[in-house]
Amino acid sequence: MSVNHLEKKIIVAGIGPGNKTYTTPAALEKIQAAKFLLGGKRALSDFASENQETFSITSDLESALNFIREKILIDNVVVMVSGDPGYFSMLDLIRKNFSPSKIEVIPSISAMQLAFAKLSLSWSFAKLLSFHGRKPADEDLKFEKGKILGLLTDAEFNSKTISKILLEFGWEKNSDIAICSRLSYPDEKIILTTLEKAADSEPIKHCILIVGKNLTEIHQN
Ligand X SMILES: C[S@@+](CC[C@H](N)C(=O)[O-])C[C@H]1O[C@@H](n2cnc3c(N)ncnc32)[C@H](O)[C@@H]1O
Question: Rule CB under 6 A: which residues touch ligand X?
Answer: 17-18, 81-84, 87-89, 110-112, 132, 152-154, 180-184, 206-208
Question: Min. distance of Cβ 93 from ligand X in angstroms?
Answer: 12
Question: 147: how many CB neighbours lie within 10 A of its CB?
Answer: 17
Question: Min. distance of Cβ 17 from ligand X in angstroms?
Answer: 4
Question: Min. distance of Cβ 68 from ligand X in angstroms?
Answer: 18
Q: Strand, helix or coil at 93?
A: helix
Question: Min. distance of Cβ 102 from ligand X in angstroms?
Answer: 21
Nearest to 11 by CA among 79, 84, 99: 79
Question: 84: how many CB neighbours lie within 10 A of its CB?
Answer: 25
Long-range contacts formed by 129-132: CB under 8 A, 24+ apart? 130/88, 131/157, 131/162, 132/88, 132/157
Complex with ligand X: residue 42 or 142, whichever CB lies closer: 42
Complex with ligand X: residue 5 or 41, whichever CB lies closer: 41
Complex with ligand X: residue 8 or 182, whichever CB lies closer: 182
Nearest position to ligand X, beta carbon: 83
